[in-house]
Structure 1
Amino acid sequence: MTTTSFARTFMAAVASGALALAATHAHADETGTLARLTGAFNGWRHSGLTNEGEQYVAAYPRPPVDRGAQRFRTLIEGQLKHVDPHARRPPTLVVNGNPTPLYTDEQGFFARPWAFGAGSNSIEIISADGTKHQRMQFYEADRNKPQAKLRAIVTWDDPHAQVDLHVITPEGLHAFFANPTLEDGSGFDVDSVDGAGPGIFSSAAPEHGTWLFFLNYWGNFDSTGYNFDPGAHDRDVITATLTLVFNENTPNERRETRVVPLRKIGDLVLVKSERL
């Protein structure tokens, strides 16, 4: 995709009120274009992916979109130009330095939710063999969005597994899929229920004390919906990644990453105890 077409895509988002961009810039390196972005708009739009969570809402707790917990969510949507069904690994989507496997349908269509903070943000697609990169960068100037002082992001590498993030605040408040918004104003900006995530928890004013971050291998899903069939996954060992980002998009940004294996449904792992 050329710089011009990238700019048009995101200027269309500006016109729709989905993104408030002070500037838009995109770059694709000389190795060629990997994908065509068809939109990045707030809210959930069913994209026709074979593993999209909305197909299975009857079998799994509905994503808490209607309760306002995902009001800052944006959908990164597009199509890969070339899909290799025999590739050992999928391409990688990197959002603000956070990598996640980019699973698609057979035609290469993909849709990944994210929550962009104020300031400079970036989206990058890396080919499965790592030789091609496509990157775009834009500035989010929406002053109505609170700036996250603490953000926890979970992703994983199995398109048929569901992994949940659980956050315990110093006062004992518990945020998870069934309780996405807390009394202190923190909560899930994104809680994707389909394979690979992400789940994104944010706090604009994290209280002092010890925060606990758990990951739970909740279950699997296939064409029949969500289930607890221990064989209904792609990997015997699922690699889950938890990234904590402090003061995102500021000169004082700091991040910590933990990678943990999840082997069986029901695994609950304390990944990080962080004292603020």
Structure 2
Amino acid sequence: MHPRRILRAISCLPALLLATLVAAEPGAGMSSPSAGWRYSGLTDDQNAPRVAYPTPPIDRGGVRGRSLIEGHLREVAGVDRAQRLVVNGNPLPLYTDAEGRFVRPYNFGAGSNSVEVASAEGKSLKRIQFYEANNSRVPPRIRLALGWNDPKAELDLHIVTPDGQHAFWANPRLPGGGGLDPDGVDGPGPEMFTVAAPLHGTYLVYVNYWGNLNSQGYNFQNGSNQQDVITAEINLVFNENTVNEKRETFVVPMRTIGDLVLVKTFNY
């Protein structure tokens, strides 16, 4: 080969190496929700095919106000290692299928909302901001969001309201308004309790380790979960998406099927 051609080939190596490294950099794409101005009901296509790990995002939520957070991860795909999904400041574990695809339900309130996907190491991979202009979706006065770090376990959120009502998977909608939405049934959540006009008084927040989940369905076999100790993370948010927003986060270990833990008692 002519010496000039050899020099030209060598000079191209750094660019090729850089392109390879950039292509292999972890990243994320998000098809829903979209950034910018949004009016739910016009942009949500409930008939579109969905993918999720390990099952489609079908839940028993009572309010039916959810949207889907849908996208894919590049170079960080896998069902054994949780990435992070941060929605309006609420961190939740995020697992994908073998191709890196994910779908998670979420109940957005009116106003400004943010969705961020981060790697397990905390590096931001994708972040969008959108304004929900549907005024029927009022900002919640109380929001509780539960997520956990084991895709093979099923945890449940239980809320007892000041009038003695009990919101949980078999009773998702409360007569006074609000309730569970969504009630995630396919891995690490999220499960959410949302209420726009809460009663004044004392609320009790419990987390129950209900059972495990595998390709055959739900089971109650100890050891069929992935983590020896499951870490449940509960975010309590007051006046979300307003200037008066306040939040607390609680981390609770769950060890045995049947565990029922009182996480928080608070007054509103």
Two-structure CA RMSD over aligned residues (Å):
2.2
Q: Distance between the aligned counterparts of 1:127 and 1:137, measured in 2?
A: 19
The Cα offsets for residues 116-150 of structure 1, whole Å up to 9 and x where unpaired, read as 11111101111223334321111111111132111
With the length of structure 1 as denominator, give the TM-score of the two structures: 0.79
Query: 1:97: which partner in 2?
Result: 89
Q: Equivalent of 2:138, from 139, 146, 152?
A: 146
Query: 1:133: which partner in 2?
Result: 125
The CA deviation at 1:83 is 2.8
Alignment CA distance shift 1:242-1:163 (3 Å):
same
| Equivalent position amino acid for 1:263 in 2 | R
Q: Distance between the aligned counterparts of 2:211 and 2:187, measured in 1?
A: 11
Q: Distance between the aligned counterparts of 1:33 and 1:142, measured in 2?
A: 34
The CA deviation at 1:35 is 1.4
Q: Distance between the aligned counterparts of 2:26 and 2:227, measured in 1?
A: 30
Note the residue ranges of structure 1 that are not aligned, 5 or more in a row.
1-30, 55-61
Alignment CA distance shift 1:264-1:35 (3 Å):
same
Counterpart contact for 1:180–1:188, Cα < 8 Å: yes
| Matched ranges for 1:66-105 at <5 A | 69-83=62-76, 85=78, 89-105=81-97
Q: Which of the two has higher C-alpha Rg?
A: 2
Pairing 1:123–2:126 present? no
Q: Distance between the aligned counterparts of 1:45 and 1:233, measured in 2?
A: 31
Pairing 1:166–2:158 present? yes
Q: Equivalent of 1:64, from 60, 67, 87?
A: 60
| Equivalent position amino acid for 1:52 in 2 | T
Q: Equivalent of 2:98, from 74, 83, 106?
A: 106
Q: Equivalent of 1:207, from 194, 199, 204?
A: 199
Q: Distance between the aligned counterparts of 1:32 and 1:140, measured in 2?
A: 32
Note the residue ranges of structure 2 that are not aligned, 5 or more in a row.
1-23, 34-43
Query: 2:266: which partner in 1?
Result: 274
Q: Distance between the aligned counterparts of 1:155 and 1:49, measured in 2?
A: 16
With the length of structure 2 as denominator, give the TM-score of the two structures: 0.81
Counterpart contact for 2:50–2:56, Cα < 8 Å: no
Q: Distance between the aligned counterparts of 1:43 and 1:269, measured in 2?
A: 35
The size of the alignment, in residue pairs, is 235
Alignment CA distance shift 1:204-1:47 (3 Å):
same
Alignment CA distance shift 1:212-1:251 (3 Å):
same
Q: Distance between the aligned counterparts of 1:38 and 1:261, measured in 2?
A: 34
The CA deviation at 1:103 is 0.3
The CA deviation at 1:52 is 1.6
The CA deviation at 1:70 is 4.1
| Equivalent position amino acid for 2:60 in 1 | P
The CA deviation at 1:171 is 0.9
| Equivalent position amino acid for 2:52 in 1 | L
4+ aligned runs moved over 6 Å, structure 1? none
Counterpart contact for 1:151–1:245, Cα < 8 Å: yes
Pairing 1:35–2:38 present? no
